[in-house]
């Protein structure tokens, strides 16, 4: 486990994938962060979008319509073929009836 202070910019060069960190912020909060490689994060996001969509009994077309995104984008997101933007993820989560916090909570487990 590695600790670093967010008030200093040195941490950006120190981050290594698959490492757990304790993060100290300017306000003194301690956060645990786990940095994972982009492809692993993309695949976890993809699996969670598909899982939640299946739970909601929606098609990709339904999700696209309700989120205002294109069906192709939803398909690419579910297959981890694109990096989903935060804006798109917020729209997807809202269409699936979950908050971003709930979405990422299940990814983090």
pLDDT in tens, 45-62: 999 999 999 999 999 999
List alpha helices for the chain, DSSP H: 11-14, 38-55, 60-67, 71-78, 86-95, 100-108
Nearest to 108 by CA among 16, 44, 54: 44
Domains, the chain, with CATH or none: 2-35 (no CATH), 38-108 (1.10.260.40)
Max distance between CA atoms of the chain, in angstroms, equals 46
Whole-prediction pTM: 0.67
Handedness of CA 55, 59, 62, 67 (dihedral sign): positive
Please name every residue paired with 21 in a beta bridge, in sequence order, or none if there are none.
2, 33
Mean pLDDT score, 59-73: 97
């Amino acid at each position: 486990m590695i600790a670093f202070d967010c008030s200093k910019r040195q941490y950006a060069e120190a981050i290594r994938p698959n490492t757990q960190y304790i993060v100290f912020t300017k306000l003194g909060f301690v956060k645990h962060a786990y940095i994972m490689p982009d492809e692993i994060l993309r695949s976890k996001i993809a699996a969670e979008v598909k899982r939640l969509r299946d739970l909601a009994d929606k098609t990709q077309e339904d999700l696209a319509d309700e989120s205002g995104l294109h069906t192709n984008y939803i398909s690419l997101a579910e297959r981890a073929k694109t990096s989903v933007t935060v804006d798109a993820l917020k729209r997807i989560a809202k269409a699936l009836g979950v908050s971003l916090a709930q979405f990422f909570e299940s990814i983090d487990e």
